[in-house]
Amino acid sequence: MVLVSILLGLLAVRMGRARRQAAAVATIRKHGGHVTYDYAFPDDNPRYSPLQWQAKSNVPNRLLHPLGKDFFHDVVGVTARLHEGMTADEVQDVSRAIETLKEKELGWVTVSE
């Protein structure tokens, strides 16, 4: 019973992290930004390996769809564009989203105006 409780607790922590990441990704994309996930790098090193734009997750679809990409993969890079048409609240939302993702030591963050 203790083991099951521990496993469920770990699953809950992972789900919470995945929800935060998914919300941050959605905010960045909503405002025209782009995120790159860890599976886009063949040797798991975003700083020194070539990016493969057409890469797909190696997680089976039967797991990927119900739990979501953010459950299994980390965001390793963010490109965001802050522009004149954005309100102060939208700029703040994008900034908060980037800060949420920075907790994971991103390979790069590019913000342009």
pLDDT of amino acid 62: 92
Contact present, 94 and 28 (Cβ < 8 Å): yes
Tokens of residue 107, six digits:
């390979």
Q: At what angle do helices 2-30 and 88-102 cross, to 10 degrees?
A: 140
If you write DSSP's letter for every residue of 31-56 in order, what string do you get?
Answer: TT-EEEEGGGSTTS-TTTS---TT--
Tokens representing residue 111 in the block: 């913000």
What H or E segment, with its residue span, contains residue 21?
helix 2-30
The structure's pTM equals 0.78
pLDDT of residue 43: 66
Please report the pLDDT score of residue 96 as a whole number. Answer: 87
The domains of the chain are located at 2-112
Q: What is the token pair recorded at 14?
A: 């992972």
pLDDT value at position 46? 56
| 58, two tokens | 């190696």
Cβ-based neighbours of 68, under 8 Å, separated by 6 or more: 18, 22
Q: Tokens 């089976």 sit at which residue?
A: 60
Per-residue pLDDT of the chain (113 residues; tens, 9 = 90+): 899 899 999 989 988 888 988 998 999 988 888 888 888 876 655 555 666 667 788 889 998 889 999 999 888 888 888 777 888 888 888 888 888 887 767 777 888 77
pLDDT of res. 47: 58
Q: What does the pLDDT read at residue 6? A: 92
